[in-house]
Copies of this chain bind each other. A is one copy, B any other.
Amino acid sequence: MSDLSRLSLNQATIKYAGMEQAVSACLRAEIPGIGLWREPVAEYGLRKTGALLRQAGLTPTSMCRGGFFTSPDSDQRIKDLADNRAAVDECAELGVPELVLVSGGLPDGSRDVDGARSMVLDSLAELAPYAGERGVRLAIEPLHPMFCSDRCVVATLGQALDLASRFPAEQVGVVVDTYHIWWDPTVYQAIERAEGRISAFQVCDWITPLPAGVLLGRGMMGDGCIELRRMREAVDKAGYTGPIEVEIFNQEIWDADAMEIAELTAARYVEHVL
């Protein structure tokens, strides 16, 4: 038997499965962890989700997502920060240790990328103590630079670490997602530097051609060109012993049967990551 003990299926990989179906798929594929998203959790009910996971013996490994810190409108910023506090509360309620942050892109019509990056830092400063007090860590996720303008002005692991290092390690960490950072010529130095700051390790593969809009371009492990095992080994070497989450946005995978995708995920994890 292969060791799936660190494996976690992010529920975005089987986006169209309901909460109960997602849990069943994990159990059937012997995947012990699940990465949650706020929307399906809210739809199923927060307490009900907690009960379902406990009953199934599934560990919630992370929650997507907080962030979107770059609104220039002060009323909107207040709302966004409140929403992030609510996300922290939900994590605390479910015992999810890490809240994944997608920091936000440039405001509409803005060219001020430095300004947007400052807003991210300001928001982290607002939220970090709140999260830390509740036993939840804010996990800054650098997104691939192709998302810099519209989703996330944090574009490299090094930049995420620079931000995180302004705060205690138990309050702010970083997400190492192979898809977003594999291309970076300095990525292994950054992973080494991330010791003690790795909130989550997410894996999927880089495939081309990219689809229009590029959001749904991720590939199943083994279908692309990322040295997944090498990155896993680097993350391990940096002292990370936590879950390894599979998060894939891909229309074909979404359209497939959730049980089959969970089993394929486990098989590909063993073949390409473990």
Hey, which chain B residues are within 8 Å of A148, CB to CB?
182-183
Which has the most chain B C-beta neighbours within 10 Å: A182, A185, A186, A227? Answer: A185
Interface of A is mostly: loop
**Number of A residues whose C-beta is below 8 Å from B?**
34
Known A-B contacts A106-B225, A210-B214, A225-B106; the reply to A183 vs B145 at CB < 8 A is: yes
- The complex is assembled from copies of this chain, and their number is 2
Least CB distance from A264 to B in Å reads: 19
A209: nearest chain-B partner, CB-CB: B213
Contact status of A159 and B185, CB under 8 A, knowing A211-B212, A226-B111 = yes
- Name A's B-contacting residues (CB within 8 A): 106, 110-113, 117, 144-146, 148-150, 155-156, 158-159, 162, 182-186, 206, 208-214, 224-227
User: 6 A–B contact pairs at CB < 8 A?
Assistant: A111-B226, A145-B146, A146-B146, A149-B183, A150-B209, A156-B185
